[in-house]
Amino acid sequence: MKTKFFLLFLLLAAGAGTVWYFKLNSPAPSAVTVTAGRKILYYQSAMHPWIKSDKPGKCPICGMNLVPVYEGDAMAMTDTNLVSLNADSVSVINVQTETVQGRPIRHTIHVIGRIQKNSATAVWFVFDIYERDLSWIKPGQTLEVSLPSVPGKTYSAQIKLHGTETFADRNLDDMSDSTKIRAEISNPPVEVPGFEGSAYFNNLHAEAHIVAVTPEVLAVPRSAVISRGAGPMVYVEKSSGFYTPKVISLGRIGDEYAEVRSGLDEGDKVVINGNLLIDADAQLTSGK
């Protein structure tokens, strides 16, 4: 009986020794390995996608485990500008896209001015408009004018091409790059409470909002646009997890959308959230 136990002990020891030998002498895992038929290109931080490594580890910023990025998309080999993110990174930085399409662009301009030539027959709201907003101003636009001195009341005004006064000064002010626009108030005069019929004050402070809408144009969300040395640019999703930069030319800039003159086609998917982190990744990778 003792002999049997001794032989069993020898067999177990020999097996354990064999396993230990192969563990010690097996080659170290390669930084680029093949897992389930897919080649790992590198490891990347899901929270900070510009952190990359050729071996597993932890992100030095957030401490999360680096996740593998697999080979499997030919675009990554042919497009050197392409930025690739693994599924975890796309989820963590909440990458969102929107399809480029034709749409009207809405732009709201807040203007401040004064009431002039206030009389029982005619009155104007005269306000300054900057050069950058001139393309949004058109004869026929209507404004709802409010005054701090006349609380609770608004006056309807219209920019008239053929009014009794020219609707705009032709010379821009050199210092402010602005000109004056006149809108005729349709229900004169402007009366301050307590002085009705007694005094029509001139140069009263007034303000209004101009809401301009363009015809349908190719447009991109403003949140998609990144401005740096090369001019305005966006990131276009080529396929899930793969993004390429596109330099674009912009026209009119609205409240939420901007007109695209060139650089994009209808149907392109642009990144509207997470694009700044994608761009940081691209710049660090390229060394720019």
* DSSP characters over 86-138: -HHHHHHTT-EEEE-EEE--EEEEEEEEEEES--SS--EEEEEEEGGGGGG--
pLDDT given for residue 5 in this prediction: 41
Those residues with Cβ within 8 angstroms of residue 155's Cβ, 6 or more apart along the chain or in another chain: 125, 144, 145, 146, 147, 185, 186, 187, 190
| Contact indicator for 237, 246 with CB cutoff of 8 Å | no
Number of residues written out for the chain: 288
Number of H helices, E strands in the chain: 4, 20
Beta bridge partners of 110: 209
Q: 61: how many CB neighbours lie within 10 A of its CB?
A: 11
Q: Taking every pair of C-alpha atoms in the chain, what is the biggest distance, in angstroms? A: 127
Evaluate whether residue 41 is within a structural domain.
no
Q: By C-alpha distance, which of 96, 211, 179, 193 is closest to 147?
A: 193
130 and 251 assigned to the same domain: no
Give the residue carrying structure tokens 């020794």: 17
| Contact indicator for 250, 232 with CB cutoff of 8 Å | yes
Domain containing residue 260: CATH number: 2.40.420.20
183 and 250 assigned to the same domain: no
Single pTM value for the model: 0.69
120 and 194 assigned to the same domain: yes
150 and 280 assigned to the same domain: no
Domain with 123, as residue range(s), is 106-213
Evaluate whether residue 241 is within a structural domain.
yes
* Predicted confidence pLDDT, tens digits, the chain (288 residues): 444 444 444 443 444 343 333 233 333 334 345 555 678 878 877 667 778 888 888 888 888 888 787 765 444 444 557 888 888 888 888 999 999 999 999 999 999 999 999 999 999 999 999 999 999 999 999 999 999 999 999 999 999 987 777 899 999 999 999 999 999 999 999 999 999 888 999 999 999 999 999 999 999 999 999 987 778 999 999 988 889 999 999 999 999 999 999 999 999 999 999 999 898 878 776 655
pLDDT given for residue 129 in this prediction: 96
117 and 173 assigned to the same domain: yes
178 and 273 assigned to the same domain: no
Domain-ending residue, one of 213, 247, 263: 213
Evaluate whether residue 71 is within a structural domain.
no
204 and 221 assigned to the same domain: no
CA within 13 Å, CB half, 213: 5
pLDDT given for residue 97 in this prediction: 96
Domain-ending residue, one of 213, 236, 259: 213
Domain-ending residue, one of 163, 183, 213: 213
Evaluate whether residue 20 is within a structural domain.
no
- Structural tokens at position 134: 């001139």
